[in-house]
Amino acid sequence: MRILIVEDEQKIAQFTSNILKEMAYATDIAPTGNEARDLFELIEYDLVILDLMLPDINGISLCKTFKEMRPNRPVLMLTTLSEIHDKVRGLDSGADDYMTKPFHTEEFTARVRALLRRNQDSTLTLECADLQLDLVKRQAFRNNETIKLTTKEYALLEYLMRNQGRPLSRVQISQHVWDLHFDPESNIVDAYIKQLRKKIDHNSPKKLIKTIIGHGYTINEE
Ligand code: CA
């Protein structure tokens, strides 16, 4: 999962980004509306966190632009203004949810999870054969044994499992699991797949992570 944070106040942007990274999401920060629009065009984000007051473009009109480009992409609007008419304007512009700053971390993470689920499906556990992924506790189990994963390994496995059976290219994987600092020339995806295989498939006769030669990877039962 990759999330775009549109926020001109650097401290808040970094704070928000840190919370999301702890939740195993990749994040990019855009300090202006124009930069946000460019990134949004380029990358298929799973969610946008949008500040209402930006130096160049008004958050409301930016939200409308996002929704015109990709209607199903969820937008969570953040603002320091708590007046009711701003809330209404925000929701009218197509924002899926709205929070006022400063926010409580727990409420924020709950809303992010809810918005991401809305875009996918409402399931809280993903399964592939005897491999289970608990999306709330962010834990993996194989044959009922807990598998300890790092944050990035978890993010990679979640992305594979949400797209079960679908061939995913290295670029697609890196776009959803890593951020803009990712070097496309690096073999980081392969390295992480190798790690994941050790943890997921090594002790099981049934190998779930498959290589698609010349393309990338997939996870499936067959
Ligand atoms: Ca602002």
Strand 97-100 with 75-79, pairing: parallel
Q: Tell me the pLDDT tens digit for each residue of 196-214.
A: 999 999 989 999 999 999 8
Please give the distance, rounded to the nearest whole angstrom, from the Cα atom of residue 219 to the centre of ligand 1.
41
Please give the distance, rounded to the nearest whole angstrom, from the Cα atom of residue 1 to the centre of ligand 1.
24
pLDDT at position 202 is 93
CA 16/CA 203 separation, integer angstroms? 38
Give yes or no for a contact between 86 and 114, defined as CB atoms under 8 angstroms apart. Answer: no
Please give the distance, rounded to the nearest whole angstrom, from the Cα atom of residue 126 to the centre of ligand 1.
37
Please give the distance, rounded to the nearest whole angstrom, from the Cα atom of residue 58 to the centre of ligand 1.
10
Please give the distance, rounded to the nearest whole angstrom, from the Cα atom of residue 54 to the centre of ligand 1.
5
Residue 142, strand partner residues: 131, 145
Hey, is 125 helix, strand or coil?
strand
Segments in the chain below pLDDT 50: none
pLDDT at position 83 is 66
Please give the distance, rounded to the nearest whole angstrom, from the Cα atom of residue 7 to the centre of ligand 1.
6
State phi, psi for 160 to the nearest 5 degrees.
-60, -45
Please give the distance, rounded to the nearest whole angstrom, from the Cα atom of residue 176 to the centre of ligand 1.
26
60-99 b/e with 16+ CB inside 10 Å = b?
bebbbbbbeeeeebbbbbbbeeeeeebbebbeebbbbbbb
Statement: the pTM of the whole predicted model exceeds 0.85:
no
Task: Tell me the two tokens of residue 211.
Answer: 């290589």
Please give the distance, rounded to the nearest whole angstrom, from the Cα atom of residue 46 to the centre of ligand 1.
22
pLDDT at position 122 is 59
What's the CA dihedral at 82, 83, 84, 85 to 10 degrees?
-130
Please give the distance, rounded to the nearest whole angstrom, from the Cα atom of residue 15 to the centre of ligand 1.
14
Task: Name all domains of the chain by residue range, CATH numbers in brackets.
Answer: 2-119 (3.40.50.2300), 125-219 (1.10.10.10)
CA 45/CA 41 separation, integer angstroms? 9
Residues with CB under 5 A from ligand 1 (ion): 8, 51, 53
Please give the distance, rounded to the nearest whole angstrom, from the Cα atom of residue 60 to the centre of ligand 1.
12
